[in-house]
């Protein structure tokens, strides 16, 4: 094996060549000091506990690694298991001079990375981490009192936008020094075991292209076809009115900086920038989720607002299962849950509606919804997932008021007025007239019969009465209200 010194570039949630600070720094050091760069990926879920990577996200990761390996001309070293053991073994086997990585922000990742820096620096190895997945570091944004923001608008408007501008993205570095030493034991991507034994992912495979090129293509498609109508179309689930970049941002196939500046560039010279501002603020919500996770690391498991701990959940297993499988008898809910299961994705407006229904109409703990989304979403991003579920439950930072309960029928009629979304994912309702598509239980029997629908056989009766369950939820939330006023 070659004795040439090495720089380990540890890929994590940054599976790209362009605008990758750790890779750029590793290649620069290798060129200056005649070293080799060893691109490395470690499948390490050991410290994640209950928050390990879900099934759909593992499918995406598999294919994103294939893309990264190909872009690196096969020069990607793969390991699995605890990162400290994997890195230590490499430093014992090779002449490792430096280890570079881009930061992650989950609490266990921060704790592990802090330990790794201390451990390897004590051995004389240069260890550096870089900002690559956020526009603003969470510790850089503080309010006038020097503490963390808890409300989005001042965080974004006063904290972020009045702070320094996000760094400009950089091109991919020269990869000529990226080379694995001969004789180094290598795992294959298949050996990581990311794909399930039963190929339930066929529809995902037809709909998505993981990897850096796929991410770049979706960004281009968004700018060309949807960006200039974003504010008007983003809430309509039957059209592709959003960028659908969340899985790629999660795995870092492109950076938020690339997205930020590409979209801003597309709007240069245009007088009407409402669509731009709205889209950039959605990137701001992503930043806010990570900000909350960093400053309040308990939120994956516990309510941000502890007063919600007194709320009594019903957690009825049969209702939870009906929600998970898209068999609640409420069409917009069922369409959303089936979209999630079939495609690994769900439109953001529908995420709010199905979340409100689970937490408030069914009174199932938001943590049950978070866990299901984490397993089924391709973009299973802990920060965004947890913050969003606590928002809809009313227990989070800057959350929807506990008494705001989305009416799924009205939401369907407003945002899926022709029923196109429902008919796509609930094809058994395809012939139901528009008047009843979001409330088939109100349709006369002869109309349902002509549509080929028999409630209870072809499509379920609603598992709850929407009005009664809303009132029951409000009564249950009175306990929280009393605790808040105590």
- Classify residue 258 by burial, with Cβ atoms within 10 Å: 0-12, 13-18, 19+: buried
Q: Which of 71, 72, 78, 85 has the alpha carbon at shortest distance from 36?
A: 72
Token couple for 304:
């941000």
Q: Which of 460, 352, 464, 473 has the alpha carbon at shortest distance from 414?
A: 352
Q: Collapse the DSSP code of 364 into the 3-class scheme (helix H, G, I; strand E, B; otherwise coil) and give the result.
A: coil
CA distance 34 to 185: 23
Q: What's the sign of the alpha-carbon dihedral 133, 266, 347, 365?
A: positive
Q: How many residues does the chain have?
A: 486
**Strands 126-130, 36-43: pairing kind:** unpaired
Active site amino acids: 282, 285, 313, 348, 366, 389
Q: Collapse the DSSP code of 455 into the 3-class scheme (helix H, G, I; strand E, B; otherwise coil) and give the result.
A: strand
Q: How many CA atoms lie within 13 A of 280 on its CB side?
A: 22
Phi-psi region of 269 (alpha: psi -120 to 50; beta: other; left: phi over 0): left
Place of tokens 């770049």: 216
403 with 360: CB under 8 angstroms? no
Beginning with the edge strand found earlier in the chain, give each strand of the sheet holding 6-11 in spatial order: 77-80, 36-43, 6-11, 96-102, 126-130
- Beta strands of 229-379 (E only): which ranges? none
Token couple for 142:
């503080």
CA distance 422 to 100: 47
Contacts of 440 (CB under 8 A, 6+ apart): 331, 429, 432, 448, 453, 455, 459
CA distance 78 to 240: 36
393 with 358: CB under 8 angstroms? no
Rounded to the nearest angstrom, the gap between the alpha carbon of residue 444 and the centroid of all alpha carbons in its chain is 42
CA distance 41 to 117: 17
CA distance 136 to 253: 18
């Amino acid at each position: 094996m070659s004795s040439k010194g090495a720089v380990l570039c540890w890929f994590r949630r940054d599976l790209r060549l362009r605008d990758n600070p750790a890779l750029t720094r590793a290649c620069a050091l290798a060129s200056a000091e005649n070293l080799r760069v060893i691109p490395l990926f470690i499948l390490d879920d050991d410290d994640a506990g209950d928050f390990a990577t879900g099934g759909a996200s593992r499918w995406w990761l598999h294919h994103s690694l294939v893309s990264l390996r190909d872009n690196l001309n096969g020069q990607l070293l793969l390991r699995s298991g605890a990162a400290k053991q994997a890195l230590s073994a490499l430093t014992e086997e090779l002449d490792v001079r430096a280890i570079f990585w881009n930061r992650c922000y989950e609490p266990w990742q921060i704790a592990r990375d802090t330990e790794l820096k201390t451990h390897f620096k004590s051995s004389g190895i240069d260890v550096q981490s870089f900002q690559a997945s956020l526009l603003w570091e969470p510790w850089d944004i503080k309010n006038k009192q020097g503490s963390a923001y808890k409300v989005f608008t001042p965080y974004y408007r006063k904290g972020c936008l009045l702070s320094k501008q996000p760094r400009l993205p950089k091109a991919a570095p020269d990869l000529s020094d990226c080379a694995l030493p001969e004789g180094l034991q290598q795992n294959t991507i298949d050996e990581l075991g990311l794909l399930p034994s039963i190929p339930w992912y066929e529809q995902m495979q037809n709909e998505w292209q993981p990897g850096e090129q796929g991410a770049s293509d979706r960004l281009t498609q968004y700018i060309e076809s949807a960006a200039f109508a974003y504010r008007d179309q983003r809430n309509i689930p039957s059209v592709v009115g959003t960028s659908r970049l969340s899985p790629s941002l999660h795995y870092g196939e492109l950076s938020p900086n690339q997205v930020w500046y590409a979209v801003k560039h597309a709007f240069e010279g245009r007088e009407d920038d409402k669509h731009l501002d709205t889209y950039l603020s959605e990137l701001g919500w992503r930043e806010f989720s990570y900000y909350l996770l960093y400053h309040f690391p308990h939120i994956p498991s516990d309510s941000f607002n502890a007063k919600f701990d007194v709320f009594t959940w019903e957690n009825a297993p049969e209702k939870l299962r009906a929600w998970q499988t898209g068999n609640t008898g409420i069409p917009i809910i069922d369409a959303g849950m089936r979209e999630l299961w079939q495609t690994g994705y769900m439109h953001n407006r529908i995420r709010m509606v199905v979340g409100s229904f689970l937490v408030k109409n069914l009174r199932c703990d938001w943590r049950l919804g978070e866990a299901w989304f984490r397993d089924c979403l391709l973009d299973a991003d802990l920060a965004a997932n947890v913050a969003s579920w606590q928002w809809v439950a009313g227990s989070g930072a800057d959350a929807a008021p506990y008494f705001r309960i989305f009416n799924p029928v009205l939401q369907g009629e407003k945002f899926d007025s022709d029923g196109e979304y429902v008919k796509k994912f609930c094809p058994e309702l395809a012939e139901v007239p528009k008047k009843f598509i979001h409330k088939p239980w109100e349709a006369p029997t002869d109309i349902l019969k002509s549509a080929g629908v028999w409630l209870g056989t072809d499509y379920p009766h609603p598992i709850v009465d929407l009005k009664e369950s809303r009132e029951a939820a409000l009564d249950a939330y009175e306990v929280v209200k009393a605790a808040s006023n105590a």
